[in-house]
Structure 1
Amino acid sequence: MSDKSPEQKIILSADSTCDLDAELKERYHVHYFPLHIILNEKDYMDNVDITPEEVYQEYYDHKVLPKTSAVNVEEYIEHFRPWVEAGCEVIHINLGHALSSSYQNCCIAASELGHVHVVDSCSLSTGTGLLVVAAGKMIAEGLDAETIAEKLRKRASNIHASFVLDTLTFLHAGGRCSSLAALGANMLKLKPCIEVNNHDGSMGVGKKYRGSLDKVLVKYVKDQLSKYADIDTDLLFITHSGISQEYIDAVKKTVDETMKFKEIHITKASCTISCHCGPNTLGILFETK
């Protein structure tokens, strides 16, 4: 018999970088905490008072890219405190620890407050979002917070997140790629696939595609879906940083023709993700069993 009192609730919280759409956020009652975007010495809240389009425009106009900043310990404490004081348990799912110190800061806040169960997604964007949705389902099933958090930590290595970049300009501007590599890739029309390491959230370059974006995206989708024998077909995300509808439609059509998923959600990446990748970045994100 559970010792959880009937009125005790489990609150589901996540870094805003999980990039869920409004429907899923509402369905699973997800509370976001936005990361910081610092542009021209002004501090913005990611996807609250600044958009990826504004970030791109500032780069085009003035060659200035924002810096991203983790959520600090005190901010997490203030975020969680009202729920803990109300007798709730909190599950919070973070951006992968290799990408941000938010996870470490969240752990410190949780140890101070108690009753907060922190999960390192070891991923980014809707790779994190897949774990948020899984948590929402388990909460609905009545599992306790500690059990849910432990299951999520084990599932992190089943999450597969990757993106195709249309240009290396933004990676280069952010210091994540040499000018020679960026110039060479852009001249050769190379579109690298960036793959997320699902053990820490770090990013590495996978296959380098050549050609027009429409053809590259179709090939990329087929490659990713044929790469794993045991894909969980409950949910797939198509996540982009701002791209025309024709590319999204082509990707969704390719997914539908290749494999049947119960749900496909198309979402837009937060500024934290988009400012490093630039416009016309698109990825498919899914889980294996």
Structure 2
Amino acid sequence: MIKITADSTCDLSPELLHTLDITLTPLHVLIDEEDFRDGINIIPQDIFKHVGEHNRTCTTAAINTYEYEEFFSQFVDQYEAVIHINLGSDFSSCYQNAKIAAQSFDNVYVIDSQNLSTGSGHLVYEAAFLAREGRTAHEIVEKVQALIPKVNASFVIDRMDYLKKGGRCSSMEAFGATLLKIKPSIEVTHGKMAVGKKYRGNFENCLEKYIKDRLQQDDKIDKSRIFITHSMCPPETVQKVRGWIAQYTEFEEVIETSAGCTISAHCGPNTLGILYKTK
């Protein structure tokens, strides 16, 4: 049997993780001087309370090499191989640390997802199904790596204060965007995060335009699966998003997941993305 593991940043739901026997290793979340573990002793709601209500500083930090060695050691004797899928190497040193840790074992394979959130979650999901089919470790690694450039990942951000506090935009940029009701889309392209189209208006209207832009013009969409991943968006908003998706593309699976601490710490509440594959 092959064991599939991943960083906590893949943002798959607890139900999916349990069903597919996927185990996560948590990133560090730093609130001022306090060190927490993503999904273990801190959740996004805690971050929003610390940052939004108490104006504390929140950052994230990579899993170190020793932690990866300890994590992999739980599985190497029980399984034929362990395949670990990391948060993209451009976003964190997790991949480099995991690669170093994997050198201590003969049967640990580490993959740079070149993505984040359920962008990497697509790869984790796919790997778990391939493992269930009885594919070899080499086959799984090869197929997952081939899928990496086919993942389309993006988000729309409702508010700019979290980006400002994280040093990802200036106070003037945040003020101007807030004043003009600009909601930027953040896209992952070639393993790097960049600002895409900037929408203007209330959040739901911007989401509707964003979904139309992503799905209407793209005739290369793989219709097998799409993730709706968000940080504390109201259920009625998510339901509208499902309806807008259905207007343009009929996916076999539409899976809703909650953004974990990494996306939440950097983007804040009311962030929503649609993440799918292309052919």
TM-score band by shorter chain is over 0.9
- Could you say which residue in structure 1 is the equivalent of 2:188? 196
How far did 1:229 drift? 1.5
Structure 1 length normalisation: TM-score? Answer: 0.94
- Could you say which residue in structure 2 is the equivalent of 1:136? 128
- Letter paired with 1:142: G
Which structure 2 residues correspond to residues 110-121 of structure 1 after superposition, within 5 A?
A: 110-121=102-113
- Tell me how far apart the structure 1 counterparts of residues 108 and 220 of structure 2 sit (CA, whole Å): 32
The answer to whether residue 22 in structure 2 is matched with residue 23 in structure 1 is no
C-alpha change, 1:67 and 1:26, in structure 2 (3 Å) is same
Which structure 2 residues correspond to residues 227-242 of structure 1 after superposition, within 5 A?
A: 227-242=217-232
Native 8 Å contact 2:221 2:278 kept in 1: yes
- Letter paired with 2:170: S
- Tell me how far apart the structure 1 counterparts of residues 147 and 79 of structure 2 sit (CA, whole Å): 27
- Letter paired with 1:258: Y
- Tell me how far apart the structure 2 counterparts of residues 98 and 185 of structure 1 sit (CA, whole Å): 26
- Could you say which residue in structure 2 is the equivalent of 1:147? 139
- Could you say which residue in structure 2 is the equivalent of 1:69? 61
- Could you say which residue in structure 1 is the equivalent of 2:100? 108
Native 8 Å contact 2:2 2:79 kept in 1: no
Which structure 2 residues correspond to residues 1-289 of structure 1 after superposition, within 5 A?
A: 9-197=1-189, 199-200=190-191, 202-289=192-279
- Letter paired with 1:267: T
- Letter paired with 1:266: E
Native 8 Å contact 1:51 1:271 kept in 2: yes
How far did 1:228 drift? 2.3
User: What's the RMSD between the two structures over aligned residues?
Assistant: 1.1
How far did 1:261 drift? 0.8
Native 8 Å contact 1:159 1:285 kept in 2: yes
- Secondary structure of the corresponding residue to residue 152 of structure 2: strand
- Tell me how far apart the structure 2 counterparts of residues 110 and 288 of structure 1 sit (CA, whole Å): 31
- Tell me how far apart the structure 1 counterparts of residues 140 and 52 of structure 2 sit (CA, whole Å): 44
Percent of aligned pairs sharing the same letter: 45
| Worse-matched range after superposition: 53-62 or 152-161 | 53-62
| Deviation by residue 1:237-279 (Cα, 9 ceiling, x = unmatched) | 0000111112111101111222111111111111111110011
- Structure 1 residue ranges, 4+ long, deviating more than 3 angstroms after superposition: none
How far did 1:61 drift? 2.9
- Tell me how far apart the structure 2 counterparts of residues 42 and 59 of structure 1 sit (CA, whole Å): 13
How far did 1:60 drift? 2.4
- Tell me how far apart the structure 1 counterparts of residues 212 and 154 of structure 2 sit (CA, whole Å): 13
For structure 2, list consecutive stretches of 5 or more residues without a partner in the other structure. none
- Tell me how far apart the structure 2 counterparts of residues 87 and 244 of structure 1 sit (CA, whole Å): 41
C-alpha change, 1:87 and 1:207, in structure 2 (3 Å) is closer
- Tell me how far apart the structure 2 counterparts of residues 226 and 92 of structure 1 sit (CA, whole Å): 34
How many residue pairs get aligned? The number is: 279
- Tell me how far apart the structure 2 counterparts of residues 87 and 257 of structure 1 sit (CA, whole Å): 44
- Tell me how far apart the structure 2 counterparts of residues 279 and 61 of structure 1 sit (CA, whole Å): 13
Native 8 Å contact 1:21 1:265 kept in 2: no
- Tell me how far apart the structure 2 counterparts of residues 138 and 119 of structure 1 sit (CA, whole Å): 15
- Tell me how far apart the structure 1 counterparts of residues 104 and 160 of structure 2 sit (CA, whole Å): 41
- Secondary structure of the corresponding residue to residue 83 of structure 1: coil
